[in-house]
Amino acid sequence: MADPMTALNLRINGEERRVLSPTHHTLLEVLREECSLTGTKHGCELGECGVCTVLVDGQPVLSCLVLAAEVEECAIETVEGMQRGNELHPLQSTFADLGAAQCGYCTPGILLTAQALIADNPQPSDGEIREALSGNLCRCTGYHKIIEAVRWAAALERGEADAKPPSEALYGSPLPRISPPSAQEEDPRQEKG
């Protein structure tokens, strides 16, 4: 019994694509199987982990919870389309600089969710970043590096070219260390939330 097929016209990363896929295929399946765009990850098929997040008309959507046939008219953006020419997207570069991608499996989904956030809200607070990313599970980082990277990228997008993350977040900058015996004073940098 062959599955019924549908011919779809999809607009992915600004490129028109005509694909023939089983009618019941989700956007995730079409991206990965029919379009070979495997940057969008396959995680839980339940809408819980966020690794399959893509942007549909600029909004973050779980590609496992939408049929490709439903987004024919829409602009679809995946991680493969984030780079601007040869330039990394500011989020990609701050994630690199802060080591916010560890195993990397959650990373594409998080980048896209964050991209939508800072497009919608150029100066998100930490609380807003946490809320926005709460649908993207990460098991490696403990989220802090990710939050710092999003905050920094938002500043770069606002044109604050000299914006810097907290120094402890940057590669190569020393973390506070104990130099006995003068350890009684508190490092003011450590007081941030």
Considering only residues 75 through 134, tell me which ones interact with another protein, judged by CB under 8 A. 78-80, 82-83, 88, 92, 95-99, 101-108, 111, 113, 116-117, 129-134
Q: Report strand pairing: 75-77 vs 15-22.
A: unpaired
Q: Which of 136, 152, 154, 155 binds another protein (CB under 8 A)?
A: 136
C-beta of 79 vs 155, nearer to another protein: 79
Least distance (Å) between residue 124 CB and another protein: 12
> Is 172 a binder of another protein (CB under 8 A)?
yes
Q: Report residue 66 CA to chain centroid gap.
A: 19
> Is 10 a binder of another protein (CB under 8 A)?
no
C-beta of 83 vs 123, nearer to another protein: 83
> Is 12 a binder of another protein (CB under 8 A)?
no
Sites for another protein among residues 14-73 (CB under 8 A):
22-24, 26, 29, 32, 36-51, 53, 56, 59-62, 64-67, 69-70
**Phi (first) and psi of residue 145, to 5 degrees:** -65, -35
Give, for 59, the enclosing helix (H) or strand (E): strand 59-62
User: Angle at CA 128, nearest 5°, toward 37 and 97?
Assistant: 55
Distance (Å, whole) CA 97 – CA 92:
9
Least distance (Å) between residue 16 CB and another protein: 20
Q: Are 99 and 31 in contact (CB under 8 A)?
A: no
Place of tokens 């150029």: 122
